Structure 1
Amino acid sequence: MHLRLNGLVFAVLTVLVAILGAWSGEPDLQRLWLLPLALLLLGLSYERFTVNRAKAGLTIDAPEQGLLGRAMPLQLLFHHALGRSVDIQVAPAAPEAIEIDTAIRLVSVPPGEAAALEVHATPRRLGQHEWPEMQARIAGPLGLAWWSQRLAGRYSCKVMPEMLRDAGGRMSSISGGLRPAHFNLGAGAEILQLREYRAGDPQNAIDWKATARRGRLISRDYTEDQHLDIVIAIDAGRTSALRAGELDRFGHYVNLAARFAEHAVANDDRVGVMLFADQPLATLAPGRGIGAVLRIRHMLAAATPKLAESNPLNAALRIRTLVRHRSLVVILTEVDDATVAGQLASAARLLLPKHLPLIAGISSPEAEAMRDAPAHTWLDPYESLAAQEYSSRLERNVRALRALGAPALVTRPEHMERAVFDAYAEFRKRRRV
């Protein structure tokens, strides 16, 4: 309970009357302070009874699934059982893995209907998250006090990896069944053959005239279509839990992997995923079509970083048994870690020349800003030198990997997706895989 203006007035009045009574020396005046105190206690009792009878409640209206790193709207619906309007102060709350504006809001809830308060929440980690109770204060009808209550919304949200946002590679929502958007089947201009439709064939590979003649789905094969096998290896070790911009590094890796899988499947390539830390944690063999995208997204949605040092060499050994012929291996890991860098070089040697490893890492925006910032205090030059050493180590590691024949890139989190997509397009164009 917290006193409001009317309650404070009664409390101050009680104290003043008690002081005046004590100074007067009159026995009757000395007991006069009991009157405003009794009125205050009586009013508070009535307010408490009314607030209990209000049965204030909260319902959260929001989608059952959220996308990692993308803000989603939440409607907080407040209701009560009284025949008059009720003022409610609420401090919005969310699970630890979801960011939300926690500023206290005041909502006036009319009788017989709900009052809506819209807030935006941004998921920062994957998984299923139960919404906690929210701390609220309900105004008493006499204006004497705010009465504290905890309101349970009974809402659960499953956070999934991101989806493509560009129109060229977008698929419809998962809930409605993924369907490939319009995409290019390859560079070939001639049809090699007609064959029976296979699950996962893109929609515009179907020969509709032949389908109509034969009464069943018939697909076309082109003379120069490329059908690549791709394995995306995601570092889920200890350092992947470090924050990089709006998400931790593992969140950036997962979002990139999910979108890249969707993009590659739209090109009729086969895509698989592997999570690794000190050992391989989970593996999906390369698959084609909608089913492969769904399996990848569901596996990634259940993934979390592990408190173990990453070992890309063990991941490369597992990849060699997973794919038997030449494949594109996209390794999303830390290139700046001195220990991992040596293992990355060994992993690249193990994969080359049979496979083409593309190694992608995230640079630190904070370190880049610190490297170029002017000095204002005695500590700034040392911080700048440390940031310069960090950047130099990144460049050395990237050059060493490229010298082995393994394409490598390190970019800021917001540029990583574009860099990987461009590299993939260049590999297809030059037919390096």
Structure 2
Amino acid sequence: MHLRLNGLVFAVLTALVAILGAWSGDPDLDRLWLLPLALLLLGLAYEGWVVMRAHPGLSIDAPARGVLGRPMALHLLFRHSLQRDVEMQAAPAAPDAIEIATDIRSVTVAPGTSSAIELRVTPRRLGQHTWPSMQARVAGPLGFAWWSRRLDADFSLMVVPEMLRDGGRRLGAMGGGMHAQAAVGAGAEILQLRDYRVGDPQNAIDWKATARRGQLVSRDFTEDQHLDIVIAIDAGSTSALRAGELDRLGHYINLAARFAEHAVAQDDRVGVMLFADQPLATLAPGRGMGTVLRIRQMLTAATPKLAESNPLNAALRIRMLVRHRSLIVMLTDVDDATVAGQLASAARLLLPKHLPLIAGVSSAEAEAMRKAPAHTWLDAYESLAAQEYCSRLDRNVHALRALGAPALVRRPELLERAVFEAYAEFRKRRRI
């Protein structure tokens, strides 16, 4: 309970009357302070009884699913059982994995209905998150006090990875169709007609065109390029480090979910592995929307582990998972000096049978800090530390490329584009 203006007025009045009565020396005036005190206590008792009958309640109106890193609207709905307007205040609360503004919000709730407070929340971790109870205050009808109550929301939010927002990219994944390359091969679509060559099989002869031209005409078919892809995601201790709006694992998960959906749209087989010091979960490569759903289900349950990452153990497991040449997209921490040596060993283990693409996030703060002008004596040391960080990152990337493993490091908002472009280039040049 917290006194409001009217309650404070009666409390101050009681104190003043008591002081005046004590100074006056009159026995009758000495007991006059009991009158405002009695009125205050009676008013508080009445307000407590009214608030007890109000039965304030809270419910949350929001989608049952949220997307990792994407802001969403959430409405707090307040209600009560009285036949009059009730003023309420609430301190919004959310699970630790959900970012929310926590400033005090006020609302007036009419009888027989509910009043809403709209909030913007941003999920920062995957998984199922149950909403905690919220601290609220109900205003008494006489303006004497705020009466504290804890309101249970009875709401949970499932946070899932991102999906492709480009409908054109997602169309192939939803339909499960094939995408043929404009190269000569043994596909199902006709690329061109040409003169018959000795040795062409009979099923390659276009008999209608032969009849029209009076000489043998053969058909060239497109070549269907179907790749096997394994996305290896680092869920070790460094994946819990914040990188922009999300931690590193959050960026890896969103990228893996969207990339898997895009690759399945090309009729490629996609699998996923989560690893830390040891492989944590593995899903063998597969095709179709069913594979995408299984990948998303597995990624939704991913959490950072308190263990140093070991890409070499992940590479050993990948060699057992895929037997023929595949594209290995490894999303991991490239700037960690202890991991860099293991990454090189993992790349040597995968090459030349497989093509490993190693991708990681860089620090936008470090990039800005290394070029920032110095205003204090400490700024120079911070700039030197940032320069050393960026130089080490570049050295690690160049070392991996020297082994023949494509490697890239980008800021979180640019990483997805870089990986998608590298994938498209690999398909175009037929490196897999």
Counterpart residue identity of residue 82, structure 2:
L
The separation in 2 between residues aligned to 1:60 and 1:186, in whole angstroms, is: 50
Counterpart residue identity of residue 300, structure 2:
A
Contact 1:359–1:407 (CA<8 Å) still a contact in 2?
A: yes
How far off its partner does 1:166 sit?
1.8
In the alignment, structure 1 residue 374 sits paired with structure 2 residue 373:
yes
Judging changes above 3 Å, is the alpha-carbon distance between structure 1 residues 286 and 360 closer, same or farther for their aligned structure 2 residues?
same
Match in the other structure for 2:342 = 343
Contact 1:187–1:224 (CA<8 Å) still a contact in 2?
A: yes
Contact 1:170–1:181 (CA<8 Å) still a contact in 2?
A: no
After superposition, the C-alpha distances for 1:29-61 in whole angstroms (9 at most, x for unaligned) are 000000000000000000000001000000111
Match in the other structure for 1:231 = 230
How far off its partner does 1:168 sit?
2.0
After superposition, the C-alpha distances for 1:350-402 in whole angstroms (9 at most, x for unaligned) are 10111000000110111112111111111111110010000000000000000
The separation in 1 between residues aligned to 2:23 and 2:179, in whole angstroms, is: 95
Match in the other structure for 1:120 = 120
Match in the other structure for 2:143 = 143
Match in the other structure for 1:418 = 417
Counterpart residue identity of residue 28, structure 1:
D
Partner of 1:42: helix, strand, or coil? helix
The separation in 2 between residues aligned to 1:371 and 1:140, in whole angstroms, is: 57
In the alignment, structure 1 residue 391 sits paired with structure 2 residue 362:
no
Counterpart residue identity of residue 114, structure 2:
A
Match in the other structure for 1:187 = 182
After superposition, the C-alpha distances for 1:96-125 in whole angstroms (9 at most, x for unaligned) are 010011111101000001111111111101
How far off its partner does 1:132 sit?
0.3
Contact 2:71–2:120 (CA<8 Å) still a contact in 1?
A: yes
The separation in 1 between residues aligned to 2:227 and 2:324, in whole angstroms, is: 10
How far off its partner does 1:170 sit?
3.0
Judging changes above 3 Å, is the alpha-carbon distance between structure 1 residues 98 and 185 closer, same or farther for their aligned structure 2 residues?
farther
Judging changes above 3 Å, is the alpha-carbon distance between structure 1 residues 144 and 189 closer, same or farther for their aligned structure 2 residues?
farther
Match in the other structure for 2:250 = 251
The separation in 2 between residues aligned to 1:171 and 1:368, in whole angstroms, is: 37
Partner of 2:431: helix, strand, or coil? coil
Match in the other structure for 1:23 = 23
Counterpart residue identity of residue 179, structure 1:
M
In the alignment, structure 1 residue 322 sits paired with structure 2 residue 321:
yes
How far off its partner does 1:171 sit?
5.9
Match in the other structure for 1:37 = 37
The separation in 2 between residues aligned to 1:127 and 1:185, in whole angstroms, is: 37
Contact 1:7–1:40 (CA<8 Å) still a contact in 2?
A: yes
Match in the other structure for 1:206 = none
Partner of 1:111: helix, strand, or coil? coil
How far off its partner does 1:224 sit?
1.1
Judging changes above 3 Å, is the alpha-carbon distance between structure 1 residues 190 and 360 closer, same or farther for their aligned structure 2 residues?
closer
Match in the other structure for 1:205 = none
Comparing 361-370 with 325-334, which one deviates more in the overlay?
A: 361-370
Partner of 1:230: helix, strand, or coil? strand
Match in the other structure for 1:96 = 96
Match in the other structure for 2:311 = 312
Match in the other structure for 1:262 = 261
Partner of 1:12: helix, strand, or coil? helix
Partner of 1:168: helix, strand, or coil? helix
How far off its partner does 1:339 sit?
1.2
Partner of 1:179: helix, strand, or coil? helix
Partner of 2:385: helix, strand, or coil? helix
Partner of 2:369: helix, strand, or coil? helix
How far off its partner does 1:193 sit?
4.2
Contact 1:168–1:183 (CA<8 Å) still a contact in 2?
A: no
The separation in 2 between residues aligned to 1:106 and 1:416, in whole angstroms, is: 42
When normalised by structure 1's length, the TM-score is: 0.90
The separation in 1 between residues aligned to 2:156 and 2:181, in whole angstroms, is: 43
| Aligned-residue identity in percent | 77
The separation in 1 between residues aligned to 2:258 and 2:142, in whole angstroms, is: 56
The separation in 2 between residues aligned to 1:119 and 1:408, in whole angstroms, is: 41
The separation in 2 between residues aligned to 1:192 and 1:286, in whole angstroms, is: 22
Counterpart residue identity of residue 375, structure 1:
A
Partner of 1:379: helix, strand, or coil? helix
In the alignment, structure 1 residue 55 sits paired with structure 2 residue 58:
no
Aligned residue pairs, count:
402
The separation in 2 between residues aligned to 1:171 and 1:43, in whole angstroms, is: 66
After superposition, the C-alpha distances for 1:166-202 in whole angstroms (9 at most, x for unaligned) are 2321369xxxxx82499844335888349xxxxxxxx
After superposition, the C-alpha distances for 1:255-281 in whole angstroms (9 at most, x for unaligned) are 100000001011111100000111111
The separation in 2 between residues aligned to 1:142 and 1:171, in whole angstroms, is: 62
Contact 2:237–2:307 (CA<8 Å) still a contact in 1?
A: yes
The separation in 1 between residues aligned to 2:4 and 2:182, in whole angstroms, is: 74
When normalised by structure 2's length, the TM-score is: 0.90
Match in the other structure for 1:87 = 87
Contact 2:180–2:223 (CA<8 Å) still a contact in 1?
A: no
Comparing 18-27 with 181-190, which one deviates more in the overlay?
A: 181-190
How far off its partner does 1:328 sit?
0.3
Counterpart residue identity of residue 309, structure 2:
S
The separation in 1 between residues aligned to 2:51 and 2:346, in whole angstroms, is: 66
Q: Which runs of 4+ in 1 moved over 2 A?
A: 178-194
The separation in 1 between residues aligned to 2:239 and 2:265, in whole angstroms, is: 28
Contact 2:177–2:266 (CA<8 Å) still a contact in 1?
A: no
In the alignment, structure 1 residue 129 sits paired with structure 2 residue 124:
no
Contact 2:279–2:317 (CA<8 Å) still a contact in 1?
A: yes
Contact 2:186–2:224 (CA<8 Å) still a contact in 1?
A: no
Match in the other structure for 2:153 = 153
| Greater gyration radius | 2
Comparing 159-168 with 401-410, which one deviates more in the overlay?
A: 159-168
Partner of 1:43: helix, strand, or coil? helix
How big is the alpha-carbon RMSD for the aligned residues of Structure 1 and Structure 2? 1.7
Contact 1:234–1:331 (CA<8 Å) still a contact in 2?
A: yes
Counterpart residue identity of residue 82, structure 1:
L
In the alignment, structure 1 residue 11 sits paired with structure 2 residue 6:
no
Contact 1:185–1:268 (CA<8 Å) still a contact in 2?
A: no
Counterpart residue identity of residue 44, structure 2:
L
Partner of 2:174: helix, strand, or coil? coil
Match in the other structure for 2:209 = none
